[in-house]
Each structure stands twice: as C-alpha cells, then as structure tokens.
Structure 1
C-alpha cells in the first residue's frame, strides 16, 4: 500500500487525470448520442439513399473530430503542465506529474475511438474490453506497488491503459476502417449540433470543480492525510455510481431504436424500470459498505482506516445517490438533443468550491459536508422539476 503522504499524492494525480474531462468540452456524451441516433436510423431504414446519407454523415463526424481531438490533446498537455508547475518545489512529484501528463494526453486522444464505438452501439465489446483492461491495469498497479515502486506505480498503470487500448484498436480496425474517408461537415455540425453541444460543454466545463478540483483544495487546506481519505471515499462513491448507472447507459441503443420508431411511451416505461433498478443497486452497495464497516472485519479494517469516517462517507454517498437520477435523465434527454443539467452543472460546482474555500476555516468538516449535501439536494429538486416538464413534452411528441 501507499504511505499516507503518497496516498494524498495519489488522489492529487487523479485530479490531474480528471482534467481530461475538463478539456473534453462535453464531446463524448454529445456525439455518442448523436452518432447513435444516426446509426440507428442507418440500420433501420430500407432506403439506400437514406442509408448512404447517414453513413456519409457519420464518416464526416469522424473526420471532423479527428482534427478536434488532435487540437484538444495539445490544449490538455498545456493545462497539465501548468497544473504540474504548482508542485515544482517537490521535484519527485513534479517529474511524476509531467510524465503522467504525457500518458494521459495519449489516452485522451484515444477517446475518439471509444466515442465512435459507443455511437455505433458496440457497447458489449467496448465495456467487456474496458472491464478486462481495468482489471489488467489494476493488477499491474498492485504488482509494482508490491515491488516498492510506490507512487511511481501510477506511471505503469496509465501506460498499461494506453498500450492495451492501442492493441484493442488494432484488432478492431475493421470497425473503424469505414469511417476514415468522410466529407467535411463542419458547417452542418455548427448548424445542427452546436446549440446542444454548447449546453453540455458548459456543464462539463464547470463539472470538473464538483469534486476533482476540491481534492487539491483539501490537499492545500487540510494536508495529504485528509485529501487522501477523501479521494478513497470519492472513488468508492464513483464506483457505486458507475455500477448503478451501467444499466441505463447500456440501454441507450434500445432507447434510440424505440425513439426512431416513435415509441415514446415504451421508452419512458423501460427507462423508469431501469432507474428504479439503478437506485436499488446503489442502496444495496451502500448497505454492503455499512455492514462491512460495522462488522469490523479485520480484512477490511486497513481499507476503512484509509477512508473518511462513516458519517462523512455516508453524506458523500447520499450526494452520489442524487447523481444516479442526474445521469439517468441525461441519457434520455441527450438522445433528444436536449441538456437538462446545464444550470445545476454550472452552479453546483461553483457553490461547492466556494463553500469549501470560504467555510473550511470557520466550520468543522462534518458541517462542510452537510452544507454540500444541502446544496445538492436543492438542485436535485430543481432537476426533478425540469425533468417533469421535459417528460410532459416528451409524451406529446
């Protein structure tokens, strides 16, 4: 395991890695939904002319975003270097941050291929690979940790992610081959998609500050120990959220196909069942966590000692419980080229950062997390009301 100081540095590095979602500008959720809709129409239409138009359009997106991702990769590298310069007094940490920055940029560029795999509905192969990849890379991480490489094990972890991705893309090249020759559709993009993309971009731009930007702030205000424990707890909460919302995300091709056939009522019924299932999974995972904590199993005691106390952990889990709803409604609304989370996506991160920055010296950490929970609950109600309006309009389509 990492030393306590290294654990804080570990989650500091994760904040650096999370910069890619900041620079991504909301492209992946936008374009994967747009491409999925066009791909569904391509697969379900009998007209050769319409099929030709749709496949030409998808190829055009690939051509356009190949350039886009190339530019954004250079921007990400620049921002990552600026981020790393803040820690140049610690030469060992600084050198590690710079090295990881280059690997992160390479992994970021490969997101272009994951975007199109999701877009053409190849969820099974993609998620199967990502699961195997994560297990393999995590195994590499623990192997190098046991070999006393310490925090530098992360460099091997992200390198293994990159090289395994390159191998996967090589074997899936036939899938991507048809995308290479496409028309230029930059004007069509700005006409049809940019208004929707802009709203998602605004949410993604500020979304980075919800938690990832808070870790360096806590690192500065409370030290490596607390920020490391916060990082562990946030990673657990994110894992719970990922498991819970997997069903809704994996059903996107089904939602899209039903929307294409104008079966809006069926879409809502399936989505509601999937949302309830997602909530039940999340609750089940929280109960397992609490059970293991209160049973004080010796096997898990070192793990719980490295995470936040049960009160703060539970508050963070409740906040992520709200996120289950946010993720689920975004899947449904984005298939209709609408973004419902722009307002909350902007104000929640800004207000969260302000609460921690201005109140951390005035109140206890328990109070800080209660304030964050209260803030998120208010915007959960706001998002629910927005979704009710969207749902009534959706039914009338």
Structure 2
C-alpha cells in the first residue's frame, strides 16, 4: 500500500497526472494502442486503395469544424466562468448568484438548438459533397464500394456532432473527470466495433460502425448516470438574465471559428489533396502515418486540455500566479512526453524499414516522417499557448491562424501536385515552426498586458 501511494504521488507531482488526466490520457493510451492494432488490421485486410478511402473519409468529415464554428471549443470556458460563482453538492446546485445560474441555463438551451441545426446541415452538405469528391477522383474504384459506407460515416458523425455540447457543458461545471471517463469507454468500444466489422468483411463499413458505437456509448453513459442529473440542474434553472450571443459570444466565437476552420487547412488537407493528386494509395500512406503521430499528439495534449476548466476558473478569480505556475509545469511535462513518444515511433518505423517488413510500405518513409514529427511537436507547443490565451475568453491569434491556414494550404496543394510528398511535408514543417514562434510572442505579450492591467485596477 505504501509503495502504491508513493507511485501515485510520483505520477501527480513529477509528471502532473491527476484523475482527470488519468482518464483522459487513459482513453488516449487505449486509442493509441487501438490505433496500432487498427493499422495492422488495415494493412492485412485492406487494399492500398481502401486504406486511402478509409483515411480520406476521416479528413472529409473533419469539415465539421466549418459547421460548429468553434463553439464546442469555447463553450467550456464560458460555462466555467459562470460556474465559478455557483456551488454544487452531490450533483445538485446548492447556492449561487441567480444571475449566473440564469445565464448558465440559457447557454445550455441555446447550444442545444444550435447543434441540432448544424448537425442537420452537416449531414446534408457533407454527404452530397463527399459523393461528388469520390465520384470525381476515384474512377478506378467501384462506386458501390464507398457509397454506402460513406452514408454510414456521415450520419454517425452528425449524431456525434449533436452530442458535443453535452460534454462541453459538463466539463465546464467541473465534471471533466466524468466526461473523460465516458471518452475512455468510447475509445474502448469504438475500436472493438471496428475490428469486429473488419474481421466480418465489413471493411470500409467499419468506419461508420465505429462512429455509431461511440455515439451509443456516449448517450448511454449520460442517460444512465448522475451526469444526467447535472444537466437537468443546469437546464431547470429559471431564466431571468440571458447571455447575449451577439455581444458576448459572437465577438469571441467568430475569431475562434476562423481559427479552427483555418486549422482544417493546417491539419486535415493532406489526405484529400494526395487522394486527388497522387492517388488513393499515397493518401493511405499519409493517412496511416498521421493516424499514428496524431495519436501521440492527442495523448500528450490531455495534459493541457484537462486544465481548461481550472485555467478558466483561476482567471475568473484573478489568481494569476497560481495559473502561471500550473501552466509552466504542464507545458514542460507535455513537451517531454510528446518528444519521447514521437522518437519511439520513428525508431519503430526505422526498424520495420531496415528489416523490410511489409507493414513499413503502408507508412511514409523516414525523412518525411521526421519532418512530420517535428511539425507535430511545434503544433503541441503552439496549442498550449493558444489554450492559455483562449481561457481568457479572448482570441488574439486570429491573424496567425488565417495566415497559417493560407500558407499551409497553398504549400500543401502546390508541393503535392508539382514536387511530391516529401517536399510537401518539409514545407509544412518549416511553416509550423515559424508560426509556433509567432504564437509564443503573442502569448508572452498578451499575458503581461492582460494580467498587468487587471492587477492595476
């Protein structure tokens, strides 16, 4: 028992792993391990073209960022700022300013309507847009092999999109451990559904089946747990004062929306562009490689993402010294972890190539992989500084995001079409390093500006 306690103390003090991170990173560890197994399944059961379709499906449905317009990301911050003035006990509100209770309830009701509309719009537009894209650029692939799987994927993604605000609201009211636990279960069930589907010959249907499995796990965990009571407590509060969307949310959201929409051109454009210019097989190599390195990035990102409610609360209470101390420790831990894991993955691919194991042909080669990993690490640091700034309900990185999207988008399309994959990834790496330093300069300037002005009042 003493040894166990010392180990838990080490996890908490040395690497910053609390219960929220444990569940969040636990789900990401499962996701990473599941991703490795999925890669093996895809390499064994899928052709190169099917692999390209599999990963391009994911890149196209990622267009959902153009529909949610950044609200999912900022909702937790807005809820946390209101929740800082509310007291909870046993999943019930026991006290709180009526103004903040009212605003919290109104925010919840507003977002439910918002997401019902955008989920329907997403389904119609992306379903039709994807049909055009795959018809135009997959002449050598039978329509029947991708059409029905595509319908299954888009309907499942729309359903999960509608569920997004529930998790954001709960995270904002200090239920991040519980929502991370749901994510843990989803990441456990989703790959099992995918593998079973592939074994049974479902192949591309496995993508949509996995998404639907995630949806049903999520809604079941919400409905048959105490979290449903929390949502009811938020919703039932009488509305005397409303949040003014136009004057409070929109001035922040439109910047976040542009920033997140810009992120599509930075993080998701590779697969569709390569699918159209180099073919499904090359797109599949990029997709499988991105799946692996993004799994690493997702795991390390849990160190910062689980701190959003805490950062927002400390900012609302103007506890800036504590905020900066926690942030500094978090970014150091995240950077070390991400670097080590990316190094392990590069070494693993190098071993596969050295011994000429067939699985190596499903990934990018070592040089473009190295460029991609450096870019991923740069993105991790840039994201940490962005999270810190956005927890202040401000978005000072809009110009950075727009120029980053424009430059990365143009670079990706031009280099992929006229030079090749290695040049495309190298260009991406150079640009991400440049914009990482820009993020840092904005973070350093705004941190001093905002905190100094607040303390002088």
Check if 1:179 corresponds to 2:225: no
Check if 1:142 corresponds to 2:195: yes
1:359 is matched with 415
Q: Displacement, 1:290?
A: 2.6
Task: Report if the CA contact (8 A) 2:156-2:215 is conserved.
Answer: yes
TM-score (norm 2): 0.81
Give deviations 1:225-263, integer Å, cap 9, x for gaps.
111111111112221111112111212233233323322
Task: Report if the CA contact (8 A) 1:64-1:186 is conserved.
Answer: no
1:240 is matched with 296
Task: Report if the CA contact (8 A) 1:348-1:379 is conserved.
Answer: yes
1:43 partner SS:
strand
Determine the C-alpha separation between the residues in 2 that align with 1:322 and 1:300. 31
Q: Displacement, 1:222?
A: 0.6
Determine the C-alpha separation between the residues in 1 that align with 2:245 and 2:264. 25
2:317 is matched with 261
1:160 is matched with 213
Q: Displacement, 1:33?
A: 0.7
1:11 to 55, 58, 78: 55
The correspondence of residues 244-323 of structure 1 with structure 2, limited to 5 A, is 244-296=300-352, 301-323=357-379
Determine the C-alpha separation between the residues in 1 that align with 2:242 and 2:50. 45
2:391 to 332, 335, 342: 335
**1:189–1:239 distance in 2 versus 1, CA, 3 Å:** same
Q: Which runs of 5+ in 1 are unaligned?
A: none
Determine the C-alpha separation between the residues in 2 that align with 1:186 and 1:50. 16
Check if 1:111 corresponds to 2:164: yes
1:129 to 182, 186, 199: 182
Give deviations 1:60-105, integer Å, cap 9, x for gaps.
0011111111111121112212222212472331222122211111
Task: Report if the CA contact (8 A) 1:84-1:94 is conserved.
Answer: no
Q: Displacement, 1:297?
A: 9.4
1:30 is matched with 74
Determine the C-alpha separation between the residues in 2 that align with 1:331 and 1:35. 16
1:67 is matched with 113
**1:359–1:120 distance in 2 versus 1, CA, 3 Å:** same
**1:258–1:353 distance in 2 versus 1, CA, 3 Å:** closer
2:148 is matched with 95
Task: Report if the CA contact (8 A) 1:64-1:184 is conserved.
Answer: no
RMSD (CA atoms): 2.3
TM-score (norm 1): 0.93
**1:148–1:42 distance in 2 versus 1, CA, 3 Å:** same
Determine the C-alpha separation between the residues in 2 that align with 1:84 and 1:91. 14
Task: Report if the CA contact (8 A) 1:114-1:126 is conserved.
Answer: yes
Determine the C-alpha separation between the residues in 1 that align with 2:207 and 2:95. 50
Q: Displacement, 1:301?
A: 4.4
2:86 is matched with 42
Determine the C-alpha separation between the residues in 1 that align with 2:76 and 2:404. 25
Q: Displacement, 1:180?
A: 2.6
Task: Report if the CA contact (8 A) 1:207-1:345 is conserved.
Answer: yes
Q: Displacement, 1:370?
A: 1.5
